[in-house]
Amino acid sequence: MQKVYLDNAATTQVRASVIEKMQQALADCYGNPSSTHSFGRSAKTAIEKTRKIIAKYLNAHPSEIIFTSGGTEADNMILRCAVRDLGVKTIITSKIEHHAVLHTVEELEKEYGIAVHYVELDTYGNPKLDHLEQLLQKDETKKLVSLMHVNNEIGNITPIAIVADLCKKHHALFHSDTVQSLGHLPFDVQEIKADFLTAAAHKFHGPKGIGFAFVRRNSGLKPLLFGGSQERGFRAGTEAFHNIVGLEEAFVCAYENLQEERDQVLALKKYFIENLKLALPEVEYNGHSGDLEKSTYTLVNARLPFDQQKSLMLLFQLDMKGIACSKGSACQSGSDLGSHVLTQILSVEEMKKPSIRFSFSKYTTKEELDYVINELKLFAEN
């Protein structure tokens, strides 16, 4: 049976060079980075080198990069600390954010009694910027806006440079979940005036369990975890040195090969969109995912012309054929509630059709896409 992996928005295959660097780190550099002897110093030096490299690519200062266990921890840390430490009384977000943001905001509402407002969305799932500005002007409370850069289910790209400028204009803080964009799109924090960003290595061919937060200097945030003085006292706990080394290699490879790999994957997305439409003329693409200009090049969210009975068997049938894809965020796996993103932009009738997210990487081939399209066509005909 052929095996085809089209769930790269959930996680990506680790690059061979990343594995090699991590194995070397595990074997040869096992000292605790907080120890003062040579074993510890060599590990600490490598961690600071990684911090400087990431900062260079983002045009940030090294002190603004804080290593975390991934995007979820980074989102939680930023949102919780902003309310606790910075006097934030109002959070403005959208109903199609990742649950690492949505559930955190819900808990903060219960714990601290903050006000939460949701930006209205257009029919494609884009936040309405005029409504955002209305919310920013609503009252005089200290506000934080949290809007993701690239939606992990429908691939829409939010113009966060404009959002950041709106926030600055109205003296609000701005946090963006950039887990689906960092490593895939160029980023300059001097041009995009966000206060906080988040990243996860496993979204750009790095290891799981490691990511980072960008926290602009002099933000006023205080630690969420207490213990040792790691991460300049901002995040206690012995650093996952081997993962940080893997993060560095994946990040450098992503940006050194960005244009070449972006062109390659974009061509695959275009091919998939066009040929799936030929095989299943009634297919529709959710959000802006079928638009090569307005969505990320890494995914397509297709609404397939199958009835409810066929819909129930679709993912199972694809899995039986060796095809890995998803109904939406991997974090919702096993939930019967359906996609919280699609329920915000699709009608009740449209929700009856199965929507599948197909996400691509540099390892995806045209032959694999042909196989997937053919299997979908056969499924429709049987």
- Is 29 known to be catalytic? no
- Give pLDDT, residue 1: 77
pLDDT score at 309: 86
Q: What is the pLDDT of residue 232?
A: 84
Give the position of tokens 């995914």: 299
Out of 167, 253, 325, 331, which one is annotated catalytic?
Answer: 331
Whole-model pTM? 0.95
CATH top class, domain 4-12+258-381: alpha beta
Token representation of residue 219: 């933000």
What is the Cα 202 distance to its own chain's centre? 10
What residue ranges do the domains of the chain occupy? 4-12+258-381, 16-256
DSSP collapsed to 3 states, the chain: CCCEECECCCCCCCCHHHHHHHHHHHHHCCCCCCCCCHHHHHHHHHHHHHHHHHHHHHCCCHHHEEEECCHHHHHHHHHHHHHHHHCCCEEEECCCCCHHHHHHHHHHHHHHCCEEEECCECCCCCECHHHHHHHHCCCCCCEEEECCCECCCCCEECCHHHHHHHHHHCCCEEEEECCCCECCECCCCCCCCCCEEEEEHHHHCCCCCCEEEEECCCCCCCCCCCCCCCHHHCCCCCCCHHHHHHHHHHHHHHHHCHHHHHHHHHHHHHHHHHHHHHHCCCCEECCCCCCCCCECCCEEEEECCCCHHHHHHHHHHHHHCCEECECCCHHHCCCCCCCCCHHHHCCHHHHCCCEEEEECCCCCCHHHHHHHHHHHHHHHHC
Nearest to 148 by CA among 130, 121, 169: 121
pLDDT in tens, the chain (382 residues): 799 999 999 999 999 999 999 999 999 999 999 999 999 999 999 999 999 999 999 999 999 999 999 999 999 999 999 999 999 999 999 999 999 999 999 999 999 999 999 999 999 999 999 999 999 999 999 999 999 999 999 999 999 999 999 999 999 999 999 999 999 999 999 999 999 999 999 999 999 999 999 999 999 999 888 898 899 888 989 899 999 999 999 999 999 999 999 999 999 999 999 999 999 999 999 999 999 999 999 999 999 999 888 888 999 999 999 999 998 655 555 445 679 999 999 999 999 999 999 999 999 999 999 999 999 999 999 8
- State the pLDDT at residue 335: 47
Gap between the Cα atoms of 190 and 178, Å rounded: 16
Question: Would you state the pLDDT for residue 286?
Answer: 98
CATH architecture of the domain 16-256 equals: 3-Layer(aba) Sandwich (3.40)
